[in-house]
């Protein structure tokens, strides 16, 4: 083997090792989910699902925590729960008109901590995300609170994005937002416009249309664009490899544009349909099939003379599949009832921007070679081989896991 060939295969093996260590499923599976429920007596109940791996410092320590009989009462763990409760800053606003007056956070008390019941190997597995379930409670003052806001202090390691949902006891009013640590949520109004506040008891009048759902304001729509972007860069390695497979397999820029366009139309369609619950699916079979789609594209690139026309309908089918993968990141978050389509389209816009960035980066690294005779031998074959091996490993892991 020539020196150049050894260099390429050495680089390919290194890339394979690096990417095989990346998550086999890159759909925000360890994101923090927080539900704030308010009853008609002003009692607040907060339920949260979060990954404590960074807080514990290692998988071994996280596993040791899970073996503690009473984690809530364990003296060694209590400081962590205290810091977590203090970092969850829930504010009662005295006026819905002046959102800048927030005062001090309402005190929250940890009621229960349920650590994952998994084996030590699962805690040490980099492809697994053990989630802890926490319940907290607090009380909203009945006299001067008309709205709520929430912020998560970055001093505690909340995995991002943080999917925050605020709702009343009977769910007549609901607001969902994606946040990052340190970001203040929009206000959740307790009283419908024009409703009088009761003097003795905390019994707000709810109007489902009065609360701005997620995506109802420009800043929230920009958040959906941001998280669509992060779903590709840096979290969506399976989608990145599929796009790179299309890039390396397209003989011309015109062909690449056609393939990317077909893929975009397909995944946009299935994303919207799945997010709207027009179609239902199980991630248990979607995730392995996404990995299979990457293998197919990469192996097809290795063929001496692949049928270019046959690739278009196949890429369209794979695009529908990837759209279901994108939708999996949204379905559990409670998308807005008002401005639903805008929120989904903004998420998709972020996804498209991420795909463009991937193609642009690939072109900056390899564009000079595209017009050279050695393009296929020096670039396409090694790169497609690495992509096929990585996706093949992911397929096995997803089927097994």
Quickly list DSSP for 24-81. S--S-TT-EEEEEEE-TTSEEEEEEEEE-HHHHSSHHHHHHHHT-S-TTT-TTTHHHH
Q: What is the mean pLDDT of residues 313-319?
A: 94
Structure tokens at 383: 């790169």
Cα gap 256→274, rounded to integer Å: 27
pLDDT over 90, % of the chain: 45
Taking the CA atoms of the chain, what radius of gyration do you get in angstroms?
24
* Three-class DSSP labels, 168-194: ECCCCCEEEEEECCCCECCCEECCCCC
* Among 26-40, 64-78, 256-270, the least confident range: 26-40
pLDDT at 246 over 60: yes
Q: Nearest Cα to 293, choosing from 220, 362, 238, 255?
A: 238
* Separation of CA 117 from chain center: 23
pLDDT (tens digit per residue) in 178-234: 788 998 988 888 754 444 444 333 333 333 333 334 445 566 677 778 878 888 887
pLDDT at 90 over 60: yes
The β-bridge partners of 44 are 38, 138
Environment class of 210 (CB within 10 Å of its CB; exposed 0-12, middle 13-18, buried 19+): middle
Q: Euclidean distance between the first and final Cα of the chain, in Å?
A: 38
pLDDT value, residue 168: 80
Cα gap 383→240, rounded to integer Å: 13
Structure tokens at 109: 């008390």
Structure tokens at 61: 């320590």
Structure tokens at 127: 């492809």
The β-bridge partners of 168 are 38
- 315-347 burial, b at 16+ Cβ within 10 Å, e below that, comes to bbebbbbbbbbbbbbbeebbbbeebbebbbbbb
Q: Nearest Cα to 349, choosing from 215, 247, 242, 245?
A: 215
The beta-strand segments (E) located in 180-249 are 188-189
Cα gap 218→186, rounded to integer Å: 12
103: left (phi over 0), alpha (psi -120 to 50) or beta: left
Q: Nearest Cα to 148, choosing from 168, 169, 170?
A: 168
DSSP state of 367: G
pLDDT value, residue 79: 96
Q: What is the largest CA-CA distance in the chain?
A: 85
pLDDT at 66 over 70: yes
Q: What is the mean pLDDT of residues 150-162?
A: 93
pLDDT (tens digit per residue) in 349-394: 999 999 999 999 999 999 888 888 899 999 999 999 999 999 999 8
Q: What is the mean pLDDT of residues 18-45?
A: 72
């Amino acid at each position: 083997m020539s020196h150049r060939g050894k260099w390429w295969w050495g680089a390919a093996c290194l890339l394979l090792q690096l990417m095989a260590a990346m998550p086999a499923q890159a759909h925000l599976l360890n994101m923090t989910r927080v539900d704030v429920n308010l009853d008609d007596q002003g009692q607040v109940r907060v339920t949260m699902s979060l990954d404590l791996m960074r807080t514990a410092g290692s998988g071994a320590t996280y596993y040791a925590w899970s073996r503690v009989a009473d984690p809530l009462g364990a003296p060694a763990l209590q400081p962590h729960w205290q810091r977590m409760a203090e970092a969850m800053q829930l504010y009662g606003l005295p006026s819905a008109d002046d959102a800048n007056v927030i005062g001090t956070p309402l005190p929250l008390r940890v009621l229960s901590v349920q650590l994952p019941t998994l084996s030590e190997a699962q805690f040490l597995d980099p492809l697994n995300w053990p989630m802890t379930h926490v319940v907290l409670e607090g009380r909203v003052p009945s006299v001067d609170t008309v709205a709520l806001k929430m912020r998560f202090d970055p001093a505690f390691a909340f995995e991002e994005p943080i999917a925050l949902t605020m709702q009343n006891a009977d769910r007549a009013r609901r607001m969902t937002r994606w946040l990052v640590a340190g970001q203040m949520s929009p206000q959740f109004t307790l009283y419908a416009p024009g409703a009088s506040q009761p003097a003795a008891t905390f019994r707000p009048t709810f109007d489902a249309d009065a609360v701005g759902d997620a995506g109802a304001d420009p800043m929230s729509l920009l958040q959906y664009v941001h998280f669509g972007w992060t779903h590709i860069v840096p979290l969506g390695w399976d989608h990145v490899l599929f796009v790179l497979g299309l890039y390396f397999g397209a003989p011309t820029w015109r062909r690449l544009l056609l393939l990317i366009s077909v893929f975009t139309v397909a995944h946009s369609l299935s994303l919207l349909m799945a997010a709207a619950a027009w179609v239902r699916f199980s991630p248990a079979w979607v995730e392995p099939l996404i990995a299979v789609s990457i293998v197919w594209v990469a192996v097809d690139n290795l063929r001496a003379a692949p049928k270019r026309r046959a690739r278009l309908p196949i890429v369209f089918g794979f695009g529908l599949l990837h759209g279901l993968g994108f939708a999996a990141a949204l379905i559990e978050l409670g998308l807005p009832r008002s401005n639903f389509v805008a929120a989904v389209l903004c998420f998709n816009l972020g996804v498209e921007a991420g795909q463009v960035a991937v193609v642009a980066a690939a072109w900056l690294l390899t564009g000079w070679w595209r017009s050279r005779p050695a393009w296929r031998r020096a670039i396409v074959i090694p790169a497609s081989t690495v992509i096929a091996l990585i996706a093949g490993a992911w397929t096995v892991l997803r089927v097994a896991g």
